[in-house]
Amino acid sequence: MYRVKPPTQRLFGYSTVSTHDDTDAKQQERKLIAAGCSAVYLDLSKAARQERPELDELLDDLRPGDTVIVCALNRIARGTRELLDVMERLRLMGGHLVSLSEPWLHTARHGGVLFEFFQGLSAFERSLIQEITRNGRSRAKKQGIRFGRPPTLSIAELKKARRLLDAEGYTVAQTADHLGVHRTTLYRALTRNGKAGEG
């Protein structure tokens, strides 16, 4: 079994596991204890929730020189941005992060370089996404695609609204009630299409 030898005072294990996979939890706990962890903090992974109380408690309890050990990086972070956040919290308190599956991470001498690398990678990913989004919106606009919320009233409903207002003497309030929308919504739709009524 691979055993961690970082420059540390204390070793703590951390992991997230599925609420339905007790076997995985036990396997990870065994690996972390074998790596020298004196305690293992475990959060249950729930798709609809972002809170991880055990991780927060672990980070709050750390002292300078302590090390957090995980079986794999995806057990402590769900993306580059989240990994950067955890690494920054550890850096500020003088802690270390070790991954049993990614041994290149915990070379203390290169920790700062790796952190800067991840920061640069995260910024690069954001710039790529922004550029792709801008280019996509530009192409879509050239093709006549409109952005924003779709119209509340269809063209057919607007035609009906005009008929009710012009030919049948409905007020805007009565017409809006007939169409099942708020009066303000009808006003805006009519104004956008060049016809505002009274009432």
Distance CA 97, CA 14 (A): 10
End-to-end Cα spacing for the chain: 81
Phi, psi of 135 (to 5 degrees): -65, -40
Residue type, 81: R
For residue 147, the 8-state DSSP code is -
Q: Which two tokens stand for residue 17?
A: 């596991």
Which amino acids are annotated catalytic? 18
Nearest to 197 by CA among 188, 38, 140: 188
Residues near 57 by beta carbon (within 8 Å), at least 6 away in sequence: 41
Distance CA 33, CA 107 (A): 20
